[in-house]
């Protein structure tokens, strides 16, 4: 039977039997009438020899040896005491989820309130312990804010003392469950601070009053807010420096210095990432309006070099993680610059690729209506030039199938799908079954593609770019608005018009962004103020979600070089755009 018992169990049973026998012998000896040494006279035994030798010869080591050739310890190891984790009120959601997950998988991790007397390790907002988490807060306002910069002193003044004389902002709205963190960071609140229970309430408060600032955890941002740069640091930007930013609330661990506690803190750092703003989960995408390196713009590039157009705005565009350029014109070897304003048959010298390199272009939209101006063979050559430069394209291609296909880009875990189409034509600009060009706009096909990539979980975010009928007004055309909205309702997270030579209105459709027209980036249209104006948008994505958009404003000089606007020029431009825009929350009670 012992053959069927595991080896270590058999050894243990043998040990117990030996010990039991040993105990029995000791008990019997104790009952014998012998004390000390006995007289052995007449017994034939040596005088004064011990009567019993067993106690001297059977040692614990000998008993272990008898139990088997794999000795067992006679004493069971003492288990480490559990780590009782006390959690303060208002700790970051991501941190609490990480702690809870670890506790569920380890019976030696127990949870309690921070003031529980049994807590051996406490996580709270009180300095003096180990730093375990930094919760980044974003200062924001409603999207149609003209200037989104502030000094840290403004926030403190509004938070603690209320409204300052002559201040633009008179109230601050926060989420009630973040008050412990914010009080630890900024001190006790003043009369200008209001707490609400949900992000939706916070959005309503921001849109109801342009004098309201909101303060919320970075990961809870929504596109309907514009995020402020505070002391020069903007958390939705990929150049953000948390050490130079004043709105980071710190969680500390106070522990008794046991090995188990340090092990737990190491595990917590790995699971929680130590912050609610992990740069390895952030993607910044820059998108631009019309690029047509032709006519007077081309002549300037011939004189001053292809990079001339990008001298001012190039570094900012290149700083994005992904830069998308909508280039309307094919690169044609031997292209000759024609500066005539009547010239509407466009080509660009392949040397001008240096301009795209100077802005850090990563992907190219090919929805423009001039793609086939020099014939389909020239378009194929242009596609070869893009391919040789390592630039993927979307909204156009070598065949209709390629032109309609989504371009998938993944960066820092954010999965983006780019789609594009040309509704304006002309017919020869569209790709065919066996010929290159732009994708012809078909609402049913484009809507079905949007639904498919979402339903098949191929992407987190869908971005659609449309070359619609050109117009020179800030208001979109009636059918343009209808089609853009339908694409948004289908599931496109961002819909952008790249046809307009002037900046156009903006809209949100159930929180999804619609940009009806970005105006010109590189082009020679200097004859009107609004054709000189342009919008560069920088979209931020975090953990697979669109969390915000920054609008940068430009003005063309010298027939093709955009420069940053002055404050007065920016205000004039954005007031026109925002006044023409559609803000659903403004109509809410």
- For the chain, the domains span 2-67, 83-130+252-272, 139-243, 281-587
Condensed to tens digits (0 to 9), the pLDDT of residues 334-348 reads 999 999 999 999 999
- Mean pLDDT, rounded, for 496-507: 97
Residue 54 vs residue 133, higher pLDDT? 133
Q: Identify whether the C-beta of residue 374 lies closer than 8 Å to the C-beta of residue 329.
A: no
Tell me the percentage of the chain whose pLDDT exceeds 90.
Answer: 81
What b/e readout covers 64-79, taking b as 16+ CB neighbours within 10 angstroms?
beebeeeeeeeeeeee
What tokens were used for 307?
Answer: 């990079």
What tokens were used for 330?
Answer: 């094919």
CA-based nearest residue to 376, from 424, 435, 438, 328: 435
pLDDT of 584: 82
Please check the confidence at residue 34 and state whether its pLDDT lies above 50: no
Mean pLDDT of the chain: 88
User: What's the whole-model pTM score?
Assistant: 0.86
Tell me the percentage of the chain whose pLDDT exceeds 70.
Answer: 85
Whole-angstrom Cα Rg for the chain = 37
Condensed to tens digits (0 to 9), the pLDDT of residues 238-288 reads 999 999 999 999 999 999 889 999 999 999 999 999 999 999 999 999 999
pLDDT of 419: 98
- Mean pLDDT, rounded, for 525-541: 97
Lowest mean per-residue pLDDT among 73-77, 139-143, 311-315? 73-77
Please check the confidence at residue 69 and state whether its pLDDT lies above 90: no
pLDDT of 588: 43
pLDDT of 164: 59
Return d(Cα 447, Cα 455) in angstroms, integer.
12
What b/e readout covers 567-585, taking b as 16+ CB neighbours within 10 angstroms?
eebbebbbebbbebbbbee
- Mean pLDDT, rounded, for 442-451: 97
Q: How confident is the model at residue 314 (pLDDT cuts 50, 70, 90)?
A: very high
Angle made by CA atoms 222, 224, 225, in degrees to the nearest 5: 80
| CB atoms closer than 10 angstroms to residue 479 | 11
Return d(Cα 490, Cα 483) in angstroms, integer.
11
Q: What is the DSSP annotation of 436-484?
A: -EEPBP-HHHHHHHHHHHHHTT--SEEEEEEE-----SSSPPHHHHHHH
Q: Identify whether the C-beta of residue 169 lies closer than 8 Å to the C-beta of residue 213.
A: yes
Residues facing 3 on adjacent strands: none
Lowest mean per-residue pLDDT among 21-35, 355-369, 449-463? 21-35
- Mean pLDDT, rounded, for 426-443: 97
pLDDT of 586: 77
Angle made by CA atoms 269, 273, 275, in degrees to the nearest 5: 110
Q: How confident is the model at residue 78 (pLDDT cuts 50, 70, 90)?
A: low
Residues facing 174 on adjacent strands: 195, 215
Statement: 281-587 belongs to CATH 3.60.21.10? yes
**Burial group, residue 7, by CB count within 10 angstroms (0-12, 13-18, 19+):** exposed
- Mean pLDDT, rounded, for 383-400: 98
Please check the confidence at residue 429 and state whether its pLDDT lies above 60: yes
Residue 19 vs residue 176, higher pLDDT? 176
Q: Identify whether the C-beta of residue 366 lies closer than 8 Å to the C-beta of residue 422.
A: no
Compute CA distances 382 → 180, 291, 386, 426, 582, whole Å.
58, 15, 6, 19, 39
Q: How confident is the model at residue 471 (pLDDT cuts 50, 70, 90)?
A: confident
Assigned fold of 139-243: D-Maltodextrin-Binding Protein; domain 2 (3.40.190)
Return d(Cα 86, Cα 241) in angstroms, integer.
31
For residue 18, the number of C-alpha atoms closer than 13 Å in the C-beta half-sphere is 19
- Mean pLDDT, rounded, for 377-390: 98
pLDDT of 193: 95
pLDDT of 162: 75
pLDDT of 23: 53
Q: What is the DSSP annotation of 138-170?
A: EEEEETT-S--EE-HHHHHIIIII-PPTT-S--
Q: How confident is the model at residue 328 (pLDDT cuts 50, 70, 90)?
A: very high
């Amino acid at each position: 039977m012992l053959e069927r018992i595991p080896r270590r169990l058999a050894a243990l049973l043998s040990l117990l039997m030996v010990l039991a026998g040993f105990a029995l012998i000791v008990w019997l000896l104790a009952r014998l009438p012998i004390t000390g040494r006995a007289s052995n006279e007449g017994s034939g035994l040596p005088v004064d020899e011990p009567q019993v030798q067993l106690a001297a010869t059977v040692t614990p080591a000998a008993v272990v040896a008898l139990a088997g050739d794999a000795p067992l310890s006679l004493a069971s190891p003492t288990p480490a005491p559990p780590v009782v984790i006390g959690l303060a009120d208002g700790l970051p959601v991501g941190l609490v989820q990480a702690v809870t997950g670890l506790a569920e998988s380890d019976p030696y991790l127990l949870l309690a309130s921070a003031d529980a007397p049994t807590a051996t390790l406490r996580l709270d907002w009180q300095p003096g312990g180990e730093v375990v988490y930094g919760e980044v807060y974003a200062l924001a306002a409603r999207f149609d804010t003209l200037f989104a910069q502030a000094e840290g002193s403004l926030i403190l003044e509004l938070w603690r003392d209320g409204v300052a004389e002559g201040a633009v902002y008179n109230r601050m709205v926060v989420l009630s469950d973040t008050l412990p963190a914010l009080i630890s960071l900024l001190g006790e609140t003043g009369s200008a601070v209001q707490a609400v229970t949900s992000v939706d309430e916070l959005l309503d408060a921001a849109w109801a009053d342009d004098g309201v600032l909101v303060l919320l955890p970075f990961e809870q941002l929504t596109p309907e807010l514009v995020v402020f740069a505070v002391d020069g640091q903007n958390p939705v930007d990929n150049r953000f420096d948390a050490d130079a930013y004043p709105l980071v609330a710190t969680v500390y661990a106070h522990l008794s210095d046991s090995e188990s506690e340090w092990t737990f803190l190491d595990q917590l750092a790995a699971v929680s990432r130590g912050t609610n703003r992990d740069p390895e989960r952030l993607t910044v995408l820059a998108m631009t309006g019309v690029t047509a390196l032709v006519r007077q713009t081309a002549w300037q590039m011939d004189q001053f070099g292809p990079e001339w157009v990008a001298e001012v705005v190039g570094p900012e565009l290149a700083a994005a993680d992904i830069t998308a350029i909508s280039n309307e014109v094919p690169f044609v070897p031997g292209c000759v610059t024609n500066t005539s304003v009547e010239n509407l048959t466009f080509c660009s010298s392949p040397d001008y690729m240096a301009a795209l390199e100077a802005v850090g272009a990563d992907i190219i939209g090919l929805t423009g209506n001039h793609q086939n101006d020099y014939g389909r063979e020239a378009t194929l050559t242009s596609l070869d030039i893009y391919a040789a430069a390592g630039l993927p394209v979307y909204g156009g291609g070598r065949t209709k199938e390629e032109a309609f296909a989504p371009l998938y880009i993944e960066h820092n875990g954010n999965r983006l799908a780019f789609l594009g189409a040309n509704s304006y034509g002309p017919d020869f600009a569209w790709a065919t079954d066996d010929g290159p060009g732009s994708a012809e706009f078909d609402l049913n096909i484009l809507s079905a593609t949007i639904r498919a990539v979402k339903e098949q979980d191929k992407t987190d975010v869908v971005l659609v770019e449309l070359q619609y009928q050109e117009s020179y007004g800030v208001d979109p055309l009636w059918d343009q608005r209808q089609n853009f909205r339908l694409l948004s309702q289908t599931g496109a997270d961002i819909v952008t018009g790249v046809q307009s030579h002037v900046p156009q209105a903006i809209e949100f459709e159930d929180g999804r962004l619609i940009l009806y027209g970005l105006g010109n980036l590189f082009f020679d249209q200097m004859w009107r103020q609004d054709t000189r104006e342009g919008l560069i948008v920088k979209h931020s994505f975090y953990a697979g979600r669109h969390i915000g958009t920054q609008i940068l404003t430009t003005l063309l000089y010298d027939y093709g070089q955009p420069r940053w606007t002055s404050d007065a020029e920016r205000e004039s431009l954005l007031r026109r755009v925002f006044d023409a825009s559609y803000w659903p929350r403004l109509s809410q009670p």
